[in-house]
Chain A
Amino acid sequence: MERAVEIKNLVKCYEDEPVLRNLDLDIPPGTIFGLIGPNGAGKSTLIGVLTGLLSFEEGEINIHGMMLEPKNELEIKKLIASVLQPPLLFEQFSSLEFIEYVCEIYEVEKEGLIEKAYSLMDYFDIKDYAKIKVNKLSAGSRKKLAFVTSVLVKPKLLLLDEPFEAVDVISIERMKNVIRRLKNRGVTIIITSHILEVVENLCNDIAILHNGHIKAYLDSVSRKELQKDASLQEIFEKYVEVEQKDEIVDWL
């Protein structure tokens, strides 16, 4: 079966310091996939590599059957949309101009686009900011605008790096709703997050990334098995080998 994402032996270094070390990962299509790991594990780097913003030293990446290399680059990028942390926005445009600009790059059909943009902005309570400059928006509104734009470009693979950070609880629920609807339409969604409860409730498959390796891949079957005896928090702590340090602050 064609995989949404297939990564083999991926190595990514920052100035000779490896961040991703021979990473292997397979993500089936139409999945909500959660990537969790401690700070510095390489989650955002992996998202950066998949978006094409970062190059990589070794390995192979296939997205929907196409190898990520210069000759396929544009075709692959048409399939992908992302919300980065911090979100990528063009600061001098208004919210609506930004949406139009990105949709034009993705060659999204113009007919009905503005109406769809307004309805999504309305859903996330940022409709009033349609003609406000992006650099005047609050952190939460910026995240919501990036999310709305990524949905409007109709991707087959949606990459969300910490999508819920700085977003209010009502909007988080609405974002989850949109993510589930996209999944039902066959879109693959990769989410990185520090909030384990969100990942646990939303994602079908979860991988734990630590020191540039995938330490565990928990699909729906293995998750059920493992979570009979332990919570996701405990499983996470086990795989990232959390050191018990409470005695250090005993003086408190």
Chain B
Amino acid sequence: MFYRLLTLNWRIFISNLNRFQLLLTIGYILFLGIMLVNLVGTALVVVMMDSNPWMSVELPWLTPDIYLFVLLVFGNAFWLLHFSFTNMRLMNIEENRKLLGFGFPLKRLAKYLTIIGFCHPVNIIYNFTWLIFLLIQVDYAFQVPVAISAVALNYALIYSIKHRFIQVVEKRFIAVVFGFLILVFVLFQLISLFASNSSRIFAELIPQVETVNAFLSWLPGGMLIQTVTEYYGWMNAGIIFLFSMILVGLTVIDHFNKTKEGLLNPGLKKVEEESSTLWNFLRKVLGRNAGKYYFYVMKHPYNRLQVLTLTVIPIVYVPLLMNVEYEIAQTILIPTILAGIPVALLAMGMANMYGYENREFLLHLQFPVNLEKQLKERFLGVIILPLVVFYLITVFELLVIPEIGSPLEIFIANTFFFLMFMLLFVWSSYFQYQRATYSSFSYKHPIIPQKVTFAISFLIFTMGYFVFVPLSGLEWYRLTIMSTVIVIMGIYLWRHMDVLVNLFKNRVLMRLWNEL
């Protein structure tokens, strides 16, 4: 029965993969192999470093306290990695629960699914590395069962915490997003601070290493290390082992009950009233058609992640680059990153024109609403919103960081940048149209394909180099060329808005129908 269940889940997994995803999966398996070797290798080096006589010659400062510090830092950093990457991909409950209808016993099904859920390869690699890392440090036999039970308990707790964390993320998306934003910002600022003052900080740290070690020992990674570095005798080992195993058992029972509940209550929908401030706002600002379109774009969790990325990157990098004493970084990288934001927003909007809202858009055909008008409003919406962001950024640059260039230079260069990419997206949407089945953030939702994301990033930085690199005496030639191109493109687009609509109707519409 267990074999059949594995076969069923394997088939569900394989049947959902296209050829490209299959290649990605093979690559992923190779990556897992490399990851295992790297993790175990690093663990071995860290543990063995003080036993090698060469080390004491080359690294005279490696006292036992510093060695313990390195070990504890590694253990805690590894625990953080373990926590972050523990995979919570749950089994396909919807498909598996159908087995209940064919007489598969509920308890047995829940038990098997719980076990399969725990055995994700990434999770196994992390736990295996913990075991190697701890067991090579063992001095006494009684430490072995304690270390094993501690690794099991650690995994069970991480699994449980993450499970709850996922639920929290779903419920409080905005709070988590802003929390994450602040965390990343503070972290990068700290790294920047540490990098510029490392020798002073290190000199102050060494005398206090014992205190630091005492603190690190009681963090999760440190506690795991303590299971093999402390002497606590057989009696205490037995008690710790027993207590850990009881906790592991309780956690597994908890997951088993949750799986059972999930099997009996598929897709339990939370029926709650939701406010529609966003929809009302967008309808007022952009009109009914563009408003609905953007409302859908902003409702999609993966799009929200993309918006988050677009916000985090400049917030983190621009202040960092402002501190770098390298003029070219300020004059090219900062304006390029900032000019790239509206371009990325535009790309997001254009990509979604051919994305998941298509079905509903096409179903408007039964309503008394003009398709051309609808399309025109949507295109305008897709262009207007990034354009507003573009103007806000330009004003920000002029007021806050005027050192990156003169107002005229910034304004012309940004406008040129935006229009060039707009033409590129419009052109590629019609003539290079293909349904995206995987994206930077998700395999299943057609947002922006990875290859397009990479190609656009490359183009943005290349374009940034041409547009923003200082040319001193030749600057006026470049400004004249860019201004001329802007005027030509602007007049063309203004006069030929219908071209966009007709191209959509003639080139894309039928393909969308076929893909529904």
Contact = CB atoms under 8 A, between A and B. Distances in A.
Interface of A: 51-53, 74-75, 77-78, 80, 82, 88, 90-94, 97, 101-102, 104-107, 129, 131-133, 136
B325 interface: no
B368 A97 contact: no
B273 interface: yes
A94 B299 CA distance: 13
Nearest to A102: B367
Nearest to A77: B368
Interface stretch (B71-79, B105-113, B175-183, B264-272): B264-272
Contacts of B279: 92-93, 97
A53 B274 contact: no
Nearest to B269: A136
Contacts of A80: 366
Given A91-B360, A101-B292, A78 B368 contact: yes
Contacts of B368: 74-75, 77-78, 105-107
B273 A77 contact: no
B159 to A, nearest CB: 29
B194 interface: no
Contact of A105 (B270, B360, B367): B367
Contacts of B162: none
B323 interface: no
Given A51-B365, A53-B365, 16 more contacts: A51-B366, A53-B363, A53-B366, A77-B368, A80-B366, A88-B366, A93-B276, A93-B279, A94-B273, A97-B276, A105-B288, A105-B367, A106-B368, A107-B368, A129-B271, A131-B273
B52 interface: no
B274 A133 contact: yes
B374 to A, nearest CB: 10
Given A92-B295, A97-B276, A82 B269 contact: no
A15 B270 CA distance: 41
B243 interface: no
A82 B366 contact: yes
A105 B369 contact: yes
A132 B369 contact: no
B370 interface: yes
Given A90-B360, A92-B295, A92-B299, A132 B367 contact: no
Contact of B271 (A52, A91, A106, A132): A132
Nearest to A130: B273
A223 B256 CA distance: 60
Contacts of A75: 368
Nearest to B510: A55
A77 B276 contact: no
B431 interface: no
B274 A77 contact: no
Interface in B333-372: 360, 362-370
Interface residues of B, number: 23
21 contacts: A51-B365, A52-B366, A53-B365, A82-B366, A91-B360, A92-B279, A92-B295, A93-B279, A97-B279, A102-B367, A105-B367, A106-B367, A106-B368, A107-B368, A131-B273, A131-B274, A132-B273, A132-B274, A133-B274, A136-B269, A136-B271
Given A90-B360, A136-B270, A77 B367 contact: yes
B296 interface: yes
Interface in B271-330: 271-274, 276, 279, 288, 292, 295-296, 299
B471 to A, nearest CB: 48
Nearest to B361: A90
A234 B270 CA distance: 46
B366 A104 contact: no
Nearest to B369: A105
Query: Across chains A and B, which 6 residue pairs bring their CB atoms closest together, nearest first?
Result: A77-B368, A51-B366, A78-B368, A131-B273, A105-B367, A136-B269
Contacts of A74: 368-370
B340 to A, nearest CB: 29
Given A74-B370, A136-B269, A136-B271, A52 B365 contact: yes
A88 B363 contact: yes
Contacts of B274: 94, 131-133
B514 to A, nearest CB: 9
A56 to B, nearest CB: 14
Contacts of A132: 271-274
A20 B153 CA distance: 65
Contacts of B360: 90-91
A172 B366 CA distance: 25
A102 B366 CA distance: 11
Contacts of A53: 362-363, 365-366
Contacts of B366: 51-53, 77, 80, 82, 88
Contacts of B299: 92
A75 B367 CA distance: 10
A94 B270 contact: no
Interface string B217-261: 000000000000000000000000000000000000000000000
B483 to A, nearest CB: 42
Contacts of A78: 368
A80 B368 CA distance: 9
Contacts of A129: 271
Nearest to A82: B366
Contacts of B370: 74
Nearest to A89: B360
B326 to A, nearest CB: 46
A7 B273 CA distance: 45
